[in-house]
Structure 1
């Protein structure tokens, strides 16, 4: 039961930390989490036709002083199947999102209406994708914990992005575009044994990528919208996620790029089981 309650405070599936003010005692809710997941992705809309994969996800984060952290690392094709879409090139994908509390660093309560705490948000996104080359984006911007009707406390960030690597596009080595990121964790029903069902997910909308769009088959914007229904108890989380894609990774849907017809818009499905440490 302790981990279940901690999960509601920290949103242990990696959504957002507690919305309580940190202007006076920045260490009052220090905590951490680590989840070990096996995931099955079906009909994913990745560049290069990589649709189906069984992969391992290591998910981690928490709160320590002024820093709020969420991150995960996906290790692709964990069973080494030669029939897997990721075989022979696409080995990993990772995102790390440290946020630094402005309230905590200044010692001031900066909450305004539904905006409960403010952050300097940062972001690293990295991976490899076989013949399409490497991916490494950095982002920095402003974030907040915002109260939304029915959803409760959600996380919202707007970041400017630097494209260190971007599948060989013209954007590499430039600040190019922005990323709007919103995430939530909403308990729907509690059972008598302390387990519960949640609706959890995120929206990531990348836009304004003018230099990426200079490349044939690439777009200025990209959308990912994940909707998950999960059952949680003290040790396990089991769930299903439906993910809506539009021009995934700024690859234009239906266009032939590097010899592959891009299928980067539509709906994908995810099934996973995770163990909570």
Structure 2
């Protein structure tokens, strides 16, 4: 794990000299945004087959932007806001955070863009809290006392794709900070694609992501797991000024490397998400 921090330092050193913003004028590609999302998730996975409740509400603060060489995305979720007894998050940890900083290496490659590739990054991703989807005992039963504490390290890019526009594409190695060990690879992509604009200026967008893990062994830290698996989120959203309404269909296959139908756990199939968004 120490090698990851060393790579970070080595990566940052030349970039600090290659990028000069001392004139006080922000780079023209700098931006920032923040959304407040009120969400409801129906049959989110993985989940025990015999759970008596099917869904939960949550509040999400989502943010992102670009400042110089730093590209950032993240969100914080707070589950079961009114502590309802019929929520499938009842008695579970209240919060989860995803934090995904990427450091641009563009200034090291003077001949960018390379065709559809417009930027290259040293990419990282951190998942914290939420009850530990990757933490299961030898019977594939969740360990509620141990939260997720995962880190991902790799190479990322921005690419231009016909119709989709700009997409992020990242390849990571997964290092489990709880188990202090590497656990395979993950490829991730994301997109935000407006595809129809109404006369009043509102528009429809197709937005989502794919996270797919592979290259894992069939056991990790002494526990059985799938060798590959992931999820795809397909969102259809209507945007108007500072508001948005959305529906998302999320498809799973052995999500978080939890084997489907093992010890009463369901980790493959579909779930549904509903969102009301306010944009800052």
**Shared fold (TM-score, shorter chain, > 0.5):** yes
Matched residues, number = 245
Greater C-alpha Rg: 2
- Give TM-score scaled by structure 1 length: 0.82
- TM-score norm. by structure 2 comes to 0.81
Alignment match, 2:164:
151
**Alpha-carbon contact 1:127-1:134 (below 8 Å) kept:** yes
Structure 1 segments unaligned to the other structure (5+ residues): 1-21, 166-171
**1:191-202 map, 5 Å:** 191-202=198-209
1:84 pairs with 2:91: no
Deviation of 1:180 after TM superposition, in Å, equals 0.2
For 2:244, the equivalent position in structure 1 comes to 237
- Preserved contact between residue 79 and residue 95 of structure 2 (Cα < 8 Å): yes
Q: Are 1:135 and 2:142 matched, yes or no? A: no
State the 1:183 CA deviation.
0.6
2:30 paired residue number: 30
Distance 2:188 2:95 in 1: 22
Gapped regions of structure 2 (runs ≥ 5): 1-17, 132-141
Give the RMSD, CA atoms, in angstroms: 2.1
- Alignment pair present for 1:263 and 2:276: no
Does residue 59 of structure 1 match 2:62? yes
1:174 has 2:181 as partner: yes
| Alignment check: 8 A CA contact 1:99 1:119 kept | yes
Deviation of residue 94 (structure 1)?
1.7
Cα distance, 1:251–1:107 mapped onto 2, change above 3 Å: closer
Alignment-derived partner of residue 118 in structure 2: 116
User: Cα distance, 1:117 vs. partner?
Assistant: 0.9
Find out whether 1:68 has 2:75 as its counterpart.
Answer: no
Q: Is the 8 A contact 2:218 2:225 kept in 1?
A: no
1:46 CA drift (Å): 2.0
